[in-house]
């Protein structure tokens, strides 16, 4: 049912990402996270993946015509308070989605650079990375790479908190306004802290929490970025949004079987 124009519209978030039929990651995880924060949600699917909790079996990517056809009716009806992107698998889709954000009144997105799934499935083609850097980074309110993704984007090795700081500054130098590097893949993380580093226009905040072995559970990156989007939609500033988003992900991992 369409929302009545006589009512105050709720805060509404948009996710532009892949569809994971298991529900662990992608738009289903994003929408679940938005709704848990009381944020209304809409989703545009960039790729339909074939996977279960254990492994990936392939994907069929959408065309930009399909992606635009999904988004245009939403823009006719809703004003989005916040947005994020996830899986952008091809050069065409990266460039096309960047154009959609530039040409519309959509807010600057939180950009999760989804490249490889936990099960090892390639989710962004190698030739799309250069376009991603050139066109998506300057649009992002925040980019949220894990350590392997940050290494791919910067071309530098990250093995410590100090190197996370250097990589975050380098990503800002490449056009990103703010960078959150997720440290769960750092060497020696097991049985220690889970350290995430937020560089917001040069202001660095380190988010520390207990490291929990998740047994290869997928979707934690999607959930973290969606939780930050929800906090931004609810009026929290970027620095303040990091801690509750990290706590939400930790609770979600602990709830998982």
Cα angle 154, 205, 165 (rounded to 5 degrees) comes to: 25
Per-residue model confidence (pLDDT) at position 217: 67
Q: Say which residue the tokens 């848990």 belong to.
A: 36
Residue 229 CA to residue 220 CA, distance in Å, equals 14
Number of other residues whose CB lies within 10 A of the CB of residue 6: 5
Q: Helix, strand or coil for residue 59?
A: strand
91-103 and 64-77 helices, crossing angle to 10°: 20
The mean pLDDT of the chain is 89
> What letter would DSSP give residue 111?
E
Task: Tell which residue, 77, 84, 117, 119, has the closest CA to residue 101.
Answer: 84
Q: What SS3 state is found at 158?
A: coil
Question: Among 167, 53, 153, which Cα is nearest to 94's?
Answer: 153
Asked if residues 137 and 177 have their Cβ atoms less than 8 Å apart, the reply is no
For 204, how many CA atoms within 13 A lie in the half-sphere containing its CB? 14
Using the predicted structure, report yes or no on whether residue 8 has a pLDDT greater than 60. Answer: no
Nearest by Cα to 161 from 207, 203, 115: 207
Lowest mean pLDDT among 15-29, 64-78, 172-186, 201-215: 201-215
96, pLDDT greater than 50 = yes
- CATH code for position 170: 3.40.1190.20
CA distance 56 to 119: 7
Residue 167's domain comprises: 12-255
- Of the listed ranges 17-31, 68-82, 96-110, 177-191, the one predicted with least confidence: 177-191
Answer whether residue 7 is part of any domain: no
The CA-CA-CA angle for residues 116, 26, 220, to 5°, reads 70
Cβ atoms of 80 and 13 closer than 8 Å: yes
Phi-psi sector, 35: left (phi>0), alpha (psi -120 to 50), beta = alpha
Helix (H, G, I), strand (E, B) or coil at 139: helix
Number of domains in the chain: 1
How many angstroms separate the Cα of 22 from the Cα of each of 49, 54, 55, 215?
A: 10, 10, 10, 16
Which two tokens mark 112?
């999760």
**What are the pLDDT digits (tens) for 111-170?**
999 998 766 678 899 999 999 999 999 999 999 999 999 999 999 999 999 999 999 999
Q: Is residue 3 a part of any domain in this protein?
A: no
């Amino acid at each position: 049912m369409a929302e009545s124009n006589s009512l105050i519209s709720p805060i509404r978030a948009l996710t532009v990402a892949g569809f994971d039929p298991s529900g662990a990651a992608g738009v289903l995880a994003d929408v679940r996270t938005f709704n848990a924060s009381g944020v209304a949600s809409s989703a545009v699917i960039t790729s339909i993946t074939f996977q279960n909790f254990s492994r990936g079996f392939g994907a069929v990517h959408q065309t930009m015509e399909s992606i635009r056809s999904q988004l245009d009716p939403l823009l006719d009806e809703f004003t989005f308070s916040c947005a994020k992107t996830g899986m952008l698998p091809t050069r065409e889709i990266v460039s096309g989605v960047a154009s959609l954000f530039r040409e519309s009144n959509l807010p600057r997105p939180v950009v999760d650079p989804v490249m490889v799934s936990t099960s090892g499935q390639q989710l962004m083609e190698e030739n799309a990375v250069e376009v991603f850097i050139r066109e998506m980074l300057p649009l992002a309110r925040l980019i949220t790479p894990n350590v392997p993704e940050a290494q791919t984007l910067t071309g530098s090795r990250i093995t410590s908190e100090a190197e996370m700081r250097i990589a975050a500054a380098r990503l800002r130098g490449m056009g990103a306004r703010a960078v959150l590097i997720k440290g769960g893949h750092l060497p020696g993380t097991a049985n220690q802290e889970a350290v995430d580093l937020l560089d917001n226009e040069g202001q660095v905040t380190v988010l520390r929490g207990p490291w929990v072995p998740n047994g290869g559970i997928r979707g934690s990156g999607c959930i973290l970025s969606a939780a930050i989007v929800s906090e931004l939609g609810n009026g929290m500033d970027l620095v303040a949004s990091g801690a509750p988003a990290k706590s939400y992900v930790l609770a979600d991992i602990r709830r998982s079987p």
